[in-house]
Amino acid sequence: SQTIHQWPATLVQPVGSPLSLECTVEGTSNPNLYWYRQAAGRGLQLLFYSVGIGQISSEVPQNLSASRPQDRQFILSSKKLLLSDSGFYLCAWSPGGMETQYFGPGTRLLVL
């Protein structure tokens, strides 16, 4: 069966510091991968998606970036965090050509 991992689970970072969140998927190959941010009381905001290694599409211009160095690894990064980057970050995967997405446990980020 497929499993998706995210780490860290919780992160507290000062404004202006860098960020690296990691997501890995097991039990499948060539998945579509997604990064979302969920703010309190709001829906999921799609940040990035990837259909293959090195292929990244950005949905929202911001100070975040994403990379996919391996087939089942997706990384969310920032060079300098802003207060507004605080939130719950979710990684998801879907089988290629399928609409349903499966989410990881999430990373709670607090920028102070």
Partner 1 sequence: QKEVEQDPGPLSVPEGAIVSLNCTYSNSAFQYFMWYRQYSRKGPELLMYTYSSGNKEDGRFTAQVDKSSKYISLFIRDSQPSDSATYLCAMLTGGFKTIFGAGTRLFVKA
Among 27, 84, 105, 112, binds partner 1 (CB under 8 A): 105
Residue range at the interface with partner 1 (CB under 8 A); choices 14-22, 51-59, 66-74, 77-85: 51-59
* DSSP code string of the chain: --EEEEE-SEEEE-TT--EEEEEEEES-SS-EEEEEEE-TTS-EEEEEEEEETTEEEESS-SSEEEEEEETTEEEEEESS--GGG-EEEEEEEE-TT----EE---EEEEE-
Nearer to partner 1, 49 or 74 (CB): 49
**Counting contacts by CB under 8 A, is residue 32 touching partner 1?**
yes
Minimum CB separation of residue 16 from partner 1 in Å reads 27
Nearer to partner 1, 39 or 82 (CB): 39
Q: How many residues bind partner 1 (CB under 8 A)?
A: 23
CA 50 vs. chain centroid, Å, equals 11
Footprint on this chain of partner 1 (rule: CB under 8 A): 6, 32, 34, 41-44, 46, 49, 51, 57, 59, 90, 92, 99-106, 108
